[in-house]
Amino acid sequence: MKTQSRISAGSYRSQGFIARYQKLIKDTVIPYQYSVLCDEAPDTEKSHVVQNFINAGRAVRGEDTGDGFYGMVFQDSDAAKWIEAAAFSLIAFPDQELEAQVDRLIDRIAAAQDTDGYLNTYFTIKDKEKRWTNLLEGHELYCSGHMMEAACAYYKATGKDKLLRVMERNAEHIYDRFITKGQAGYPGHPEVELALMKLYRTTGNQHCLELAEHFINVRGVDADFYKKEKEMRSWTVWGNNAEDNNYQQSGMPVRKMHTAGGHAVRAVYLYTAMADLASETGDTELYAACCRLWESITRKQMYITGGIGSTVHGEAFSVDYDLPPDTAYAETCASIGLMFFASRMLENDINGEYADVMEQAFYNTVLAGMQLDGKRFFYVNPLEVVPGISGISPTHRHDLPERPGWYACACCPPNAARLISSFGEYAYGADADTAYCHMFAAGTVSFENGMKLNCETEYPYGFTVTYRVVEGGGWLAVRIPRWSRHFSLSVNGADHVLAPEKGYVRIPVSDGDTVQLILDDTPRFIYASSKVPALTGCTALCRGPLVYCFEGADNDGDVLSIRLRRNGNITISAGTQAPLCNVVRLHAEAVRIGQQDALYTDVPPVYMPYTATAVPYYTWGNRGENQMRVWINEIL
């Protein structure tokens, strides 16, 4: 059943748009985030992550634990994601100083591991006797999962296995607890399942595969597990409702799931592991469940930006077609998890739909989660912001008009950093005789099957993609995005006329061949289903993979009074002013409603001709607090 293998870390050397982002991660984000982890960054929430590991090491040695533990129960995961981002950055930009910094942090992590392989600073410092008694809230398995991912990435980047061995010992400890000794239960926050799959492939340790399969198989079989667990303890971390099976995806066995629900990040992390396991083992029943869940998300519960999880209540999916733009939650981590899910679905079936959504989430919500200078971050990604309401009204308090520097719950910033640094893992793939180009990314790619490609493109603003086969040969499978109404493809200058099959054109290539793809660069109006009540009578603008939005900064401070002309003329210009230099703007034919002072009036509005300016959604919020809208009312 498995159709492709992941290309090994280090096989993609970026150029162009992706390279600029990866360099930003290296030069700004990674150093800044490390200063946060060390509590050295000014004007940010205290993190205490590094000190937690130091204090846990003291506890393991029987010494005084200093100032104890500080932060969220899952604080360790911030260090893990930072290490993973640093690992992929080291592949692209070797840096002895950064590598030494990671090594020092790994030494502290290793010193915090208990003699039985247990690793978690919260419980080691605060509540050693409470280990493994609160799977619902304790996040022990979640933290282990992220550290396993970090260990695999750092080993691939450097060949150093200290953290890998630490996490193998930790996996064996978990295996002993849940397999050998038979403790009941499954993770409150799925993550370790997908991480164990990575650890299995990196080490070949069958216990990792068996443990991942176990946690997936037992989930929801006893739908009352968390309720029973809560009855056996007298303490809580934050008072989670143990009977809310929808929130924690625990109401039924995973193979019976049909509707995506509950906490959005937990959901897509779980679905990622399910798809990964289905690919590895050929489990058709598990894959069928993944297909149902994929359709539930992308057909009925996904924003145009690739954002998922529409409600602040539980950071969760709500119900089908409930996609309000102004109260959207659309957590950055959730779109990152959706990319994970899409990439694992591609391992089961090469279908352009998965790559389309992966691209949609990346170029819109994921990139919007980070300010253009790499110094501020969004946790929540609304599609409409009105200063004075957004971030202030009780119903809109979570939808901030500007990005904060950091968060007490800081999962999104390091998650974005590791995703951007590892972009090549999602853009390209290979099986024995075919190289797959899922997303268009300039740079050089060395595939596991021996083919080496160079890709030249100005994507996502330029729509010509040129591939040159540097070494090897076989088949090249190039995705044709569903948004491109037409395309042209040539091989060595000769037109290549083939209809895409499931979104990909397959071309036989040899050393020295040149393949050129030209996609449709026409801006387009997008309309939502009439089943989405909040978007009745509205339209949005897109060009290529980019969703556009209207900001007050470009529209005389007021986007609320704009109405777009149906099928109106759209022109293009390139930005020349910082911070949006070289960003393509769209200028759309519109009208503006004249100001009315009365709250309500029987006087019809006056419409004045206007040209409305839109910028890519990922760039919004970089020019101070102002209005923003993705969806605009349309007028004939």
- Report the catalytic residues: 315, 411
Q: Is the bond into 401 cis (omega within 30 degrees of 0)?
A: no
Q: Is 574 exposed, middle or buried (0-12, 13-18, 19+ CB in 10 A)?
A: exposed
**CA–CA distance, 302 with 366 (Å, rounded to integer):** 14
**Single-letter residue type at 578:** A
Residue carrying the six token digits 């060390």: 38
The answer to whether the beta carbons of residues 370 and 354 sit under 8 Å apart is: no
What is the 8-class DSSP label of residue 5? B
Helices 264-281/192-203 angle, 10° precision: 30
Residues 6+ apart with CB under 8 A from 26: 89, 92, 93, 95, 98, 421
Taking every pair of Cα atoms in the chain, the longest distance, rounded to a whole number of angstroms, is: 78
Instruction: Please report, for residues 261, 463, 505, 570, 571, the alpha-carbon distance to residue 522 in angstroms, rounded to integers and kept in the order given.
Output: 36, 10, 21, 9, 10
Residues 6+ apart with CB under 8 A from 265: 189, 309, 315, 331, 333, 334, 337, 411
Q: Is 8 exposed, middle or buried (0-12, 13-18, 19+ CB in 10 A)?
A: middle
Residues 6+ apart with CB under 8 A from 464: 457, 458, 516, 517, 518, 519
**CA–CA distance, 250 with 98 (Å, rounded to integer):** 41
Residue carrying the six token digits 């996904």: 302
What is the 8-class DSSP label of residue 571? E
The answer to whether the beta carbons of residues 524 and 542 sit under 8 Å apart is: yes
The answer to whether the beta carbons of residues 491 and 497 sit under 8 Å apart is: no
CA-based angle 192:283:225, to the nearest 5?
Answer: 45
Q: Is 339 exposed, middle or buried (0-12, 13-18, 19+ CB in 10 A)?
A: buried
The answer to whether the beta carbons of residues 26 and 425 sit under 8 Å apart is: no
Collect contacts of 294-302 with beta carbons under 8 A, ≥24 apart. Answer: 294/341, 294/345, 294/354, 296/258, 296/259, 296/260, 296/320, 297/260, 297/268, 297/338, 298/353, 298/357, 301/260, 302/338, 302/357
